[in-house]
Amino acid sequence: MKTKYRRGASVERELIKMLEREGFAVIRSAGSKKVDLVAGNGKFYFCIEVKSTKGERVYLNGEDIEKLTFFAEKFGGKALIAVKFINNGWFFFEPHHLSKSGKNYRVDLQLAKYKGKNFEELIGKQKLLDEVIRRE
Protein backbone atom coordinates (compact mmCIF):
# COMPACT_ATOMS: atom_id res chain seq x y z
CA MET A 1 0.00 0.00 0.00
CA LYS A 2 2.88 2.36 0.72
CA THR A 3 4.16 2.19 -2.84
CA LYS A 4 0.72 3.11 -4.22
CA TYR A 5 0.60 6.08 -1.82
CA ARG A 6 4.14 7.13 -2.81
CA ARG A 7 3.26 6.94 -6.52
CA GLY A 8 0.12 9.01 -5.90
CA ALA A 9 2.05 11.62 -3.92
CA SER A 10 4.75 11.65 -6.60
CA VAL A 11 2.32 12.40 -9.44
CA GLU A 12 0.64 15.05 -7.29
CA ARG A 13 4.02 16.75 -6.80
CA GLU A 14 4.72 16.47 -10.54
CA LEU A 15 1.45 18.26 -11.32
CA ILE A 16 2.18 20.89 -8.66
CA LYS A 17 5.51 21.69 -10.36
CA MET A 18 3.83 21.90 -13.76
CA LEU A 19 1.21 24.33 -12.43
CA GLU A 20 3.73 26.43 -10.48
CA ARG A 21 5.92 26.81 -13.61
CA GLU A 22 2.84 28.34 -15.27
CA GLY A 23 2.29 30.89 -12.49
CA PHE A 24 -0.26 29.02 -10.34
CA ALA A 25 -0.25 29.03 -6.55
CA VAL A 26 -0.93 25.44 -5.46
CA ILE A 27 -1.88 23.80 -2.18
CA ARG A 28 -1.66 20.04 -1.72
CA SER A 29 -4.00 18.40 0.75
CA ALA A 30 -1.98 15.40 1.99
CA GLY A 31 -4.18 12.42 2.82
CA SER A 32 -6.97 14.41 1.22
CA LYS A 33 -10.57 13.91 2.18
CA LYS A 34 -12.23 16.12 -0.43
CA VAL A 35 -9.63 17.32 -2.91
CA ASP A 36 -5.95 16.57 -3.68
CA LEU A 37 -4.89 19.98 -5.02
CA VAL A 38 -6.26 23.50 -5.08
CA ALA A 39 -4.65 25.79 -7.66
CA GLY A 40 -5.26 29.30 -8.91
CA ASN A 41 -3.56 32.03 -10.90
CA GLY A 42 -6.09 34.88 -10.77
CA LYS A 43 -7.74 33.68 -13.98
CA PHE A 44 -8.30 29.96 -13.39
CA TYR A 45 -9.20 28.25 -10.11
CA PHE A 46 -9.05 24.46 -10.00
CA CYS A 47 -9.99 21.86 -7.39
CA ILE A 48 -8.25 18.70 -8.54
CA GLU A 49 -8.48 14.98 -7.80
CA VAL A 50 -5.27 13.32 -9.05
CA LYS A 51 -4.98 9.72 -10.24
CA SER A 52 -2.36 7.71 -12.08
CA THR A 53 -2.25 4.31 -13.70
CA LYS A 54 0.19 2.09 -15.56
CA GLY A 55 -2.78 0.49 -17.30
CA GLU A 56 -5.37 1.83 -19.70
CA ARG A 57 -8.11 2.62 -17.16
CA VAL A 58 -8.61 3.98 -13.69
CA TYR A 59 -11.68 3.89 -11.44
CA LEU A 60 -12.81 6.70 -9.18
CA ASN A 61 -15.08 6.41 -6.17
CA GLY A 62 -18.43 8.08 -6.87
CA GLU A 63 -18.52 9.56 -3.36
CA ASP A 64 -15.09 11.13 -3.89
CA ILE A 65 -16.31 12.78 -7.10
CA GLU A 66 -19.38 14.14 -5.27
CA LYS A 67 -17.15 15.57 -2.51
CA LEU A 68 -14.83 17.13 -5.10
CA THR A 69 -17.75 18.70 -6.98
CA PHE A 70 -19.33 20.02 -3.77
CA PHE A 71 -16.03 21.50 -2.56
CA ALA A 72 -15.34 23.14 -5.94
CA GLU A 73 -18.82 24.74 -6.00
CA LYS A 74 -18.36 26.15 -2.48
CA PHE A 75 -14.81 27.29 -3.22
CA GLY A 76 -15.70 28.88 -6.56
CA GLY A 77 -13.33 26.74 -8.61
CA LYS A 78 -13.64 24.22 -11.40
CA ALA A 79 -13.73 20.56 -10.32
CA LEU A 80 -11.20 18.54 -12.29
CA ILE A 81 -9.99 14.97 -12.44
CA ALA A 82 -6.33 14.79 -13.49
CA VAL A 83 -5.21 11.37 -14.71
CA LYS A 84 -1.64 10.52 -15.58
CA PHE A 85 -1.50 7.49 -17.84
CA ILE A 86 2.08 6.37 -17.34
CA ASN A 87 3.77 6.46 -20.80
CA ASN A 88 0.78 8.35 -22.29
CA GLY A 89 0.81 11.62 -20.34
CA TRP A 90 -1.69 13.76 -18.47
CA PHE A 91 -5.38 14.19 -19.25
CA PHE A 92 -7.87 16.47 -17.46
CA PHE A 93 -11.64 16.04 -17.16
CA GLU A 94 -14.61 17.75 -15.64
CA PRO A 95 -16.67 15.22 -13.65
CA HIS A 96 -19.61 15.27 -16.10
CA HIS A 97 -17.30 13.91 -18.84
CA LEU A 98 -16.62 10.70 -16.94
CA SER A 99 -18.22 7.33 -17.69
CA LYS A 100 -20.27 5.91 -14.83
CA SER A 101 -19.60 2.28 -13.90
CA GLY A 102 -22.11 1.33 -11.21
CA LYS A 103 -21.62 3.73 -8.29
CA ASN A 104 -18.12 4.60 -9.46
CA TYR A 105 -16.62 6.34 -12.46
CA ARG A 106 -14.20 5.00 -15.03
CA VAL A 107 -11.64 6.82 -17.12
CA ASP A 108 -9.94 4.89 -19.88
CA LEU A 109 -7.25 5.94 -22.29
CA GLN A 110 -9.64 6.01 -25.26
CA LEU A 111 -12.00 8.41 -23.42
CA ALA A 112 -8.99 10.44 -22.31
CA LYS A 113 -7.81 10.95 -25.87
CA TYR A 114 -11.35 11.84 -27.04
CA LYS A 115 -12.77 13.95 -24.18
CA GLY A 116 -9.78 14.87 -22.00
CA LYS A 117 -7.81 18.09 -22.20
CA ASN A 118 -4.05 18.14 -22.22
CA PHE A 119 -2.16 20.46 -19.87
CA GLU A 120 -1.75 23.28 -22.40
CA GLU A 121 -5.49 23.24 -23.17
CA LEU A 122 -6.30 23.23 -19.46
CA ILE A 123 -4.29 26.36 -18.68
CA GLY A 124 -5.38 28.20 -21.84
CA LYS A 125 -2.09 28.01 -23.77
CA GLN A 126 -3.55 25.86 -26.53
CA LYS A 127 -7.04 26.17 -27.92
CA LEU A 128 -9.25 23.18 -28.55
CA LEU A 129 -9.99 22.52 -32.22
CA ASP A 130 -13.75 23.06 -31.77
CA GLU A 131 -13.03 26.50 -30.19
CA VAL A 132 -10.95 27.49 -33.21
CA ILE A 133 -13.64 26.28 -35.65
CA ARG A 134 -16.43 28.16 -33.80
CA ARG A 135 -14.55 31.47 -34.18
CA GLU A 136 -14.13 31.18 -37.94
When divided into structural domains, the chain yields a total of 1
Domain that holds residue 107: 2-135
- DSSP alpha helix (H) spans, the chain: 2-21, 62-75, 109-115, 119-122, 129-135
Whole-angstrom distance, CA of residue 97 vs CA of residue 90: 16
User: What is the per-residue pLDDT across 57-105, written as a single tens digit (0 to 9) for each?
Assistant: 999 999 999 999 999 999 999 999 999 999 899 999 999 888 787 889 9
User: What is the per-residue pLDDT across 16-28, written as a single tens digit (0 to 9) for each?
Assistant: 999 999 999 999 9
* 32 is an active site residue: yes
Which listed residue (29, 32, 99, 101) is catalytic? 32
Whole-angstrom distance, CA of residue 62 vs CA of residue 95: 10
Whole-angstrom distance, CA of residue 24 vs CA of residue 77: 13
Average pLDDT score, the chain = 86
Q: What is the CATH number of the domain that holds 39?
A: 3.40.1350.10
Work out the pLDDT band at 127, boundaries 50, 70, 90. low
